[in-house]
């Protein structure tokens, strides 16, 4: 954004791509799919000490229609997977997904008959967080990585 | 105070010799091993007898004695409690692998139907006369019975072969 002589009148020039990605990346509304202890860490991240609001992602929406960031926090059983898929489908584009913790990413220690071995088999995941459960710093790091992805994607059509 | 479970053992030995396999004591609690044939009669007796009064069915569960030399492979366990006489008793009914069926005690205790559904879900033991015998924890489309000892930890492919969500909110 170059300085122009008419800027003192409250006008600045920018590109549409820049202003749209700026708005998107700084107002991510998470859909918390909390099924286990990872959700407790997510709550700690949202609370005052770590304060995810600093990154514009404090508006937790429990309606998928109003959110654009799926955070899968916890283990997903095969009975729960169709629910997760349906909620993911209900979220409007553009949307992103964080797989938080070992269980959501690969099944973790639950290598059993009823547990999904990684939600990325069924929904697209943008950022994986390691840890069991991950600390709030890791969740903030993942959020910043999502912001970088939002920034680099631009405003192209995401789906055919 | 006399222990009500000792009286229960005495009465079962006297009145149900045809189905009684044996009695014993484990963890400070007496139990009776029985055949499944007259399980409803036997539990009705334990519940209604004036000196026993096992009014409360605390739990119905099961054990898989695969290759452990038990009378039959499966065993349905009834945990009884007498509120009036303050005593516990355990009835273990053996169920063969070839025909895993036992009569339901849903008519005796309101606590029985859900506990029996859990046993059906995880062991595949069917309860004849149950009002609504279906899975209680695993999804309805699940095929295996995971607490059987010959069931592999990682399942028989259920975690990959389940109805995926096909789209269309």
Position B78 scores a pLDDT of 94
What is the rounded distance in angstroms from the CA atom of residue A3 to the CA atom of residue A19? 17
* Cα B69 to the center of its chain, rounded Å: 19
* Cα A64 to the center of its chain, rounded Å: 12
Is the predicted pLDDT of residue B76 greater than 90, yes or no? yes
Q: H-helix or E-strand containing B75?
A: strand B74-82
> Hey, is B73 helix, strand or coil?
coil
CB B16 within 8 A of CB B34: yes
Mean residue pLDDT of chain B comes to 89
Residue A7: pLDDT band (50, 70, 90) is: low
Is the predicted pLDDT of residue A2 greater than 50, yes or no? yes
* Maximum Cα–Cα distance across chain A: 68
Helix axes A37-46, A136-153, angle to 10 degrees: 80
Mean pLDDT of A80-107: 90
**R_g (Cα) of chain A, nearest Å:** 18
Instruction: Count Cβ neighbours within 10 Å for each residue of B33-44 and write b for 16 or more, e otherwise.
Output: bbbbebbbebbe
Angstrom distances, CA of residue A87 to CA of A68, A92, B4, B167? 11, 10, 55, 10
Higher pLDDT, A21 or A7: A21
Is the predicted pLDDT of residue A9 greater than 80, yes or no? no
Mean pLDDT of A58-64: 88
Angstrom distances, CA of residue A31 to CA of A119, A159, B35? 15, 20, 54
Q: Cβ–Cβ of B165/A79 closer than 8 Å?
A: no
Task: Flag whether residue B138 sits within 8 Å of chain A, measured between CB atoms.
Answer: yes
**R_g (Cα) of chain B, nearest Å:** 18
Residue B39's contacts (CB-CB under 8 Å, 6 or more residues apart) are: B19, B76, B91, B93, B102, B103, B105
B80-128: pLDDT as tens digits: 999 998 999 999 999 999 999 999 999 999 999 999 999 999 999 999 9
Is the predicted pLDDT of residue A30 greater than 70, yes or no? yes
Mean pLDDT of A122-143: 92
* Cα B32 to the center of its chain, rounded Å: 13
Task: Flag whether residue B144 sits within 8 Å of chain A, measured between CB atoms.
Answer: yes
> Hey, is A41 helix, strand or coil?
helix
Domain B4-128 has CATH 3.40.640.10: no
Position B1 scores a pLDDT of 47
Which chain B residues touch A89 with a CB distance below 8 Å? 165, 167-169
Task: Please tell me the distance in Å from B75's CA to the nearest CA on chain A.
Answer: 23
pTM of the model: 0.80
Position B70 scores a pLDDT of 86
B134-163: pLDDT as tens digits: 999 988 888 889 999 999 988 888 887 777
Task: Flag whether residue B153 sits within 8 Å of chain A, measured between CB atoms.
Answer: yes
Task: Please tell me the distance in Å from B106's CA to the nearest CA on chain A.
Answer: 27
Nearest CA in chain A to B156: A113
Q: Cβ–Cβ of A82/B169 closer than 8 Å?
A: no
* Cα B127 to the center of its chain, rounded Å: 9
Q: Cβ–Cβ of A78/B159 closer than 8 Å?
A: yes
A16 burial (CB, 10 Å; 0-12 / 13-18 / 19+) is exposed
Position B2 scores a pLDDT of 65
Position B169 scores a pLDDT of 45
Task: Please tell me the distance in Å from A9's CA to the nearest CA on chain B.
Answer: 48
What is the rounded distance in angstroms from the CA atom of residue B144 to the CA atom of residue A113? 10
Is the predicted pLDDT of residue B167 greater than 70, yes or no? no
What is the rounded distance in angstroms from the CA atom of residue B152 to the CA atom of residue B150? 6
Partners of B80 in beta bridges:
B57, B89
Residue A159: pLDDT band (50, 70, 90) is: low
Position B166 scores a pLDDT of 67
Task: Please tell me the distance in Å from B73's CA to the nearest CA on chain A.
Answer: 23
Position B161 scores a pLDDT of 74
CB A136 within 8 A of CB A142: no
Position B144 scores a pLDDT of 87
* Maximum Cα–Cα distance across chain B: 67
A102-122: pLDDT as tens digits: 999 998 899 998 898 888 888
In order of their start, the domains of chain A are 30-153 (3.40.50.12280)
B40-56: pLDDT as tens digits: 999 999 999 988 899 99
Is the predicted pLDDT of residue A156 greater than 80, yes or no? no
ipTM over 0.85: no
């Amino acid at each position: 954004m170059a300085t122009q002589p008419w800027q003192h009148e409250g006008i600045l020039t920018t590109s549409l791509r820049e202003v749209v990605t700026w708005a998107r990346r700084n107002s991510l509304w998470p859909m918390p799919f909390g099924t286990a202890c990872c959700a407790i860490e997510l709550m700690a991240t949202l609370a005052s000490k770590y304060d995810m609001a600093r990154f514009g992602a404090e508006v937790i929406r429990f309606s998928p229609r109003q959110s654009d960031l799926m955070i899968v926090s916890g283990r997903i059983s095969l009975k729960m997977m169709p629910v997760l898929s349906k909620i993911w489908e209900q979220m409007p584009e553009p949307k992103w997904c964080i797989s938080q913790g070992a269980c959501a990413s690969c099944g973790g220690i639950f290598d059993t008959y009823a547990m999904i071995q990684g939600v990325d088999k069924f929904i697209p995941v943008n950022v994986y967080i390691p840890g069991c459960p991950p600390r709030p710093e890791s969740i903030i790091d993942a959020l910043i990585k999502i912001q970088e992805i939002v920034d680099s994607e631009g405003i192209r059509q995401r789906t055919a | 105070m006399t222990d009500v479970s000792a009286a229960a053992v005495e009465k079962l030995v006297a009145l149900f010799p045809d189905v009684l396999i044996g009695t014993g004591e484990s963890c400070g609690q007496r139990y009776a091993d029985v055949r499944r044939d007259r399980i409803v009669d036997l539990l009705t007796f334990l519940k209604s007898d004036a000196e026993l009064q096992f009014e409360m069915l605390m739990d119905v569960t099961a054990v898989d004695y695969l290759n452990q030399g038990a009378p039959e492979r499966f065993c349905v366990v009834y945990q009884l409690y007498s509120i009036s006489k303050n005593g516990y008793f355990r009835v273990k009914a053996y169920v063969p692998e070839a025909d895993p069926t036992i009569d339901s005690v849903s008519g005796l205790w309101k606590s029985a139907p859900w506990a029996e559904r859990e046993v059906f879900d995880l062991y595949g033991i069917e309860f004849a006369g149950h009002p609504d015998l279906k899975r209680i924890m695993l999804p309805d489309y699940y095929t295996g019975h995971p607490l059987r000892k010959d069931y592999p930890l990682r399942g028989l492919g259920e975690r990959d072969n389940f109805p995926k969500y096909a789209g269309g909110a």
